[in-house]
Structures are given as structure tokens and as C-alpha cells.
Amino acid sequence: MGERDPGDVTGDFEAALRKEGTEQYVLRLYIAGNNLRSQAAIENVKKICEENLKGRYELEIIDVYTNGAESRADLVIAAPTLIKKLPLPLRRIIGDMREKEKVLIGLDLIPRKG
């Protein structure tokens, strides 16, 4: 049981994904219309993602006014809200994403303080 099949491509791929820094992030940013707060949240999240997750994230931006069903499905009660769907565990970050450290902690990119 300890030996791996050398032809196990799926196992090799899954092992590579588990290596630190290779996880794919699936993020959803819920905004409320096209206003300054929403635009700031979008800009802040994109900047943080490009600096810390370049090439390994998918960001979907959802306006709660035009896609209310999606926001209800994700139980969004305030906007802007950033949801980290993957990797698990799921996390929610509420606000304009101006506090970079708060976002990084919410995305599990830096450890929580004491």
C-alpha cells in the first residue's frame, strides 16, 4: 500500500496540487451596483489577487441587484462580500477590502494573529 503506481497520473496531479502555493482559488465578489464602494472593492480584490495569487485564482464578480438568486444561494447579506469557495474551508470577508491584512487572513494566505 505504501508504493505508488508509476502510471498514476491522477495521483501525481493531486499531489502537485497539494504542494504549498499551487492551490487554485475560486473567489466570488458580491457587489451592490456600480458605485464607488463597489469599484473600490473590485480594485482592491484584483490587486491583492494579482500580488498574492497570480495565475492561480478565478474571480467572479456578481452584482446582487442583477443576480439576486446567486447571492441568496451563497447567503450574502451585505455587499461587498468576498467568498472564498476553494480551497476549503469556505470563508467570507465583508467590506470594501481596503484592509489588505484582513483579506489575506480571510483567504488563508497569512496566519491569524493570536
Task: Kindly list the structural domains of the chain, giving each domain's residue range(s) and its CATH number in brackets, ordered by start.
Answer: 24-106 (3.40.30.10)
Instruction: Please compute the mean of the pLDDT values over residues 33-50 and round it to a whole number.
Output: 97
**pLDDT tens digits along 57-96:** 999 999 999 998 888 899 999 999 999 999 999 999 999 9
Residue 1 has pLDDT above 50, yes or no: no
Residue with C-alpha cell 504549498?
20
Mean confidence (pLDDT) of the chain? 88
- For residue 47, the model assigns a pLDDT of 98
The b/e string for 38-70 (b: 16+ C-beta within 10 A; e otherwise) is bebbbebbeebbeebbeeebebeebbbeeeeee
Q: What is the pTM of this model?
A: 0.79
Contact 96, 37 (CB under 8 A): yes
